[in-house]
Amino acid sequence: MLSLQYLPIPPTINIRFANKPLMPHGASKHWAQQSRIRHGPTGSINPNSCLSKLSLAGVSECADQVELPEELKPELMPKHVAVIMDGNRRWAKSRGLPVQLGHRAGGQAMKQLALNCKKFGVQVVTIFAFSSENWVRPKEEIDFLMNLFEEVVQSDLKELILQKDMRLSILGNRSQLPESLQNLLSSSEELAKSNKGMRLIVACNYSGRYDITQAAKNIAAKVRNGVLQVEDINESVFQQHLQTNGIEFPNPDLLIRTSGELRVSNFMLWQLAYTELLFFNKMFPDFDEADLVEGLTAFQRRQRRFGGHKY
């Protein structure tokens, strides 16, 4: 069962949410007013969650030297965090800026998100960069995005690979992308092949339904060719035919979506079966380190039962 956490929600919807964050005894009213994440009845955020608790000494050189905020426990850190980076266009429009500047700001926020996750000990980060449904947008915007992707791969991703030891995986149907971008993505994956650090997964021209459909087709072909028997098909076999096959911790522990939208938008539909969901009511370019700390803290307060119980 997917765990939702957000506010406000109309009372007619059959999901329980709190009307305001639940605060520990003695927490200040100011913190409750300033909290930027919506909290449900499953838990709350420690009011001491702030960047002043974080020692930044040596952050750029070694994540192991980072002192975590006191409310975060390394043993409860999600291994895989997925992010739907929503709200770049609305961020720009609300400021009277061209849409293109919103996407550029989102690119910078993406890089910082990856660095912050690495700093806090997250092992896999998946970002939803471009959906297969995004092709319906104006051609001018699509052309800009494809060029921006190339810029980001050549600069930011290359920096993360060479200087931060990050590994790189690409999900999605590459055949529809410009050939120059396809080549850049492939060469970047190869460049990061021997790295040992955090894995960054970029979902570009990705569709969860397409992922599942292709897996079903590949399994059907193996049955037709006598390579696989119908009786041998199970969840494990199916998962081996998804695009996340071979990736350690392929199923996200935590999904974060910005911009206030309450849906998964055809993203990692198989992999999100037991993922904890958090929705932030702010646009992705504004998503910062403090928000990530709050999100990770909320995750660590969840009780993940996977169909069982702990009481």
Q: Which residues are catalytic?
A: 86
Tell me the CA distances in angstroms from 220 to 192, 216, 227, 281, one per residue in order: 33, 6, 10, 42
**Whole-number Å distance between alpha carbons of 37 and 276:** 14
**Whole-number Å distance between alpha carbons of 105 and 257:** 17
Closest listed residue to residue 152, CA positions, set 128, 181, 186: 181
Closest listed residue to residue 280, CA positions, set 272, 268, 265, 290: 290
Residue entry with tokens 């709190």? 18
Angle 69-74-76 from CA coordinates, rounded to 5°: 110
Q: CB atoms < 10 A from the CB of 263, how many?
A: 11
Task: Find residue 131's DSSP bridge partners.
Answer: 206
Closest listed residue to residue 209, CA positions, set 135, 257, 268, 250: 268
SS3 255: strand
Amino acid at 217: K
Give 206-235 as a 3 state SS string.
ECHHHHHHHHHHHHHHHHHCCCCCHHHCCH
